[in-house]
Structure 1
Amino acid sequence: MSVDLSALGWDDGFAEAFGRFAVLGQRPARVSRVDRGVCTALAAGGPVRASVAGGLLARAAQDPGALPCAGDWLVVRDWPDGRLTAEAVLPRRTAIVRATAGEESFGQVLAANIDAVAVVEPIDPSPDPGRIERLLALAWESGAKPHLVLTKADLAADPEAIAAQMPGRASGVTVHAVSARTGLGLDGLHPLVARGRTLGLLGASGAGKSSLVNALAGAPVMQTRALRADGRGRHTTTYRALIPMPDGGAVLDTPGVRLVGMFDTVTGLDRAFADVTLLAQACRFDDCRHGDEPECAVRAAVEEGELSPRRYASWQKLQKEQKLAAVRRVRRESRERRRPARG
């Protein structure tokens, strides 16, 4: 089965990056999923499975973010004995990165080389603004264009009214109210999965990501499961997967995320909270912490009803997480510099 790589986003830029690897026995392929160090990827000749080469593993020992992930373009090497290895990852144009758990503060790449990120949140029983803001910060930081997709819109009496109240609009985020069951609002998403484009999905379990993929594909390509009796979502996707669309383009589905830690998301937070960032510029002190400092424009906006206490608290919480992650990263890098070189 041949694969049209250009439909998956291969272009002159990636071809140029691949140029220095273009030797006999090496070819490009796009990662569709990774399982325990083995990459399933789409090459021109069809799907392949390649183990991660030793050189790439050595780089990943210093930076786990160097490991291949869904959406990456790989340099795959064919060996005479039939083995295939992933020798290198071509430079990523965009990447959704979250902080790993623990004190080391490494970044875990959830998806790479996406053109748009859809933060997926169910309308029913009710959207969680705090979760939306957290995921939009990661989406903005990725370098891709963020969208907010409110699923299960057929269960709401007035989905557009709910959409109008969602965070993100002030930052230029397009909000889509959709229903995978009825097809409502899906026309607005089809341009995001046009030929050569990749849409990444980011959301909690039960948000309807797999159902959304099936609706966009026009066929059941992802397994779906009913909600639990308490209305909470069940995990369906347990791995990150790149799914080609019938007419070109691709969707990159991610597992439902319970915890998404902030990792190097300064720009993303500024974009996700553009209204608060603008207010902060009017504070008396440049280093205002927006607590008890005099003439704090952010706190004044809360007191005057211009900024909701909930959004203010959400912004402060994510700012603290980001600063803590930055401190942990600096400490880790300092320890690594002091570590004696092996020789």
Structure 2
Amino acid sequence: MNTIKLEDYGLTEERWGQAGQDKGGYIGRVLSQSRDLYRVISEQGELLAKISGKFRYEVKNQTDYPAVGDFVVMDRSHDANGNGIIHCVLPRKSVFLRKSAGIASKEQVIAANVDTVFLCMSMNQDYNLRRMERYLTLAWESGAIPVIVLTKADLCNDVYEKLCEVAAIAPGVDILDISTHTKGGWEKIRPYLAYGKTAAFLGSSGVGKSTLINCLLGRKVLDTQVIRQDDKGRHTTTRRELLLLPEGGILMDTPGMRELGMWDEAEGLERTFTDVESYFDKCRFRNCTHTNEPGCAIHAAINAGELSKERWDSYCKLRSEDAYLEDRSGYMQKKKEKFKSIAKINRKKK
């Protein structure tokens, strides 16, 4: 078997120490997932693996399960004797979460151990500043560094105006305007990709993520689609997957995200809306609710044209969503504990 350099896949000396090699564990990184099976890269190549029974029994939250990008410890490094068994997930450097589909409030890991998050939005039908604010909030909370990628610049007649609009809601964030139909247009991304570093492409379907990845890889690996006339993209990528770049660096593509939920994103909101929160200390009253109080700095800034009402409304919406989900999470936990107590009493009666 050919020996694989896991350093190519982002493994560091610190993670080697976390793996507990002296206990006979073998480290690997999750490349993709299909139901309960994980495709993992190890020193001796790729193998399929599943979590151990003990691991499954000890899991407390959905986010404890392995995800694409995770470093895991297994009982073997090749599949000569069958599927590998995953015993634990190593501590994550960063984790990108979203609310899972459906009514139940459950967290879902979108990407793990990502260094740079490319937040993709096209400059034609998909252009939406409020959506980008949401992406930025979650990206900052993930622990990765966000970079905004505005695609399909060749289809936009007011590129400079849109760049200024995005810059106004993303202080301190690098913004790239990209056209994959222009020779070398995607080269602006390369400086952000380095050996051993992982980058994830996040954004709605049809904005050009797969096209960008194909350009960076130098070959067609992922299928591509365009945004439909109704502004809804098709999901060309149906699973998350890590892809190794020829020049070094790792790329992750993810399915388009339609519903991004908030999960205790206080720090992410603060970094995304620094311009908004800078007015709070200027209000006349310390406990100002920014509704009808005299001397409210927020309303003064809006009336003076220093702060747009749309920007303020977006902040309030995301803050309310965060508070709602926090309350709902607490309610569901209390309900779960109540059912457990009832079940325990019923067992004693029997």
Q: Same fold (TM over 0.5)?
A: yes
1:66 aligns with 64
Q: Deviations over 1:30-55 (max 9, x none)?
A: 11111111111111211111012222
2:268 aligns with 268
Matched, 1:12 2:8: no
What is the CA distance between 1:12 and its match in structure 2? Answer: 1.3
- AA aligned to 2:151 is T
Note if contact 1:199-1:251 (Cα within 8 Å) is conserved in structure 2: yes
Note if contact 2:167-2:175 (Cα within 8 Å) is conserved in structure 1: no
Of 168-177 and 84-93, deviating more is: 168-177
Note if contact 1:56-1:66 (Cα within 8 Å) is conserved in structure 2: no
- AA aligned to 1:298 is I
2:106 aligns with 106
Residue 91 and residue 183 in structure 1: after superposition, are their counterparts in 2 closer, same or farther (change >3 A)? farther
Please tell me whether Structure 1 or Structure 2 has the larger radius of gyration of its CA atoms. Answer: 2
> Which of 1 and 2 has higher RCO (CA within 8 Å, sep 6+)?
1
1:309 aligns with 309
Note if contact 1:34-1:69 (Cα within 8 Å) is conserved in structure 2: yes
State the distance in 1 between where 2:284 and 2:118 align.
37
- AA aligned to 1:3 is I
Q: Percent identity?
A: 36
1:48 aligns with 47
After superposition, the CA RMSD in angstroms is 2.3
Residue 23 and residue 323 in structure 1: after superposition, are their counterparts in 2 closer, same or farther (change >3 A)? same
State the distance in 2 between where 1:196 and 1:221 align.
21
- AA aligned to 1:9 is G
Of 203-212 and 277-286, deviating more is: 277-286
> Secondary structure in 2 aligned to 1:199?
strand
Matched, 1:248 2:248: yes
- AA aligned to 1:106 is K
Structure 2, gaps ≥5 residues long:
none
What is the CA distance between 1:131 and its match in structure 2? Answer: 0.5
State the distance in 2 between where 1:15 and 1:135 align.
32
1:133 aligns with 133
What is the CA distance between 1:115 and its match in structure 2? Answer: 0.5
State the distance in 1 between where 2:202 and 2:168 align.
15
What is the CA distance between 1:185 and its match in structure 2? Answer: 4.5
State the distance in 1 between where 2:236 and 2:284 align.
49
1:83 aligns with 83
Residue 183 and residue 120 in structure 1: after superposition, are their counterparts in 2 closer, same or farther (change >3 A)? farther
Note if contact 2:169-2:272 (Cα within 8 Å) is conserved in structure 1: no
Residue 156 and residue 101 in structure 1: after superposition, are their counterparts in 2 closer, same or farther (change >3 A)? closer
State the distance in 2 between where 1:254 and 1:304 align.
41
Q: How many residues align?
A: 340
> Secondary structure in 2 aligned to 1:51?
strand
Q: TM-score, normalised by structure 1?
A: 0.91
> Secondary structure in 2 aligned to 1:146?
strand
Q: Deviations over 1:276-298 (max 9, x none)?
A: 01112322344433222332212
Residue 168 and residue 55 in structure 1: after superposition, are their counterparts in 2 closer, same or farther (change >3 A)? farther
Structure 1, gaps ≥5 residues long:
none
Residue 59 and residue 100 in structure 1: after superposition, are their counterparts in 2 closer, same or farther (change >3 A)? farther
What is the CA distance between 1:18 and its match in structure 2? Answer: 0.8
Of 245-254 and 331-340, deviating more is: 331-340
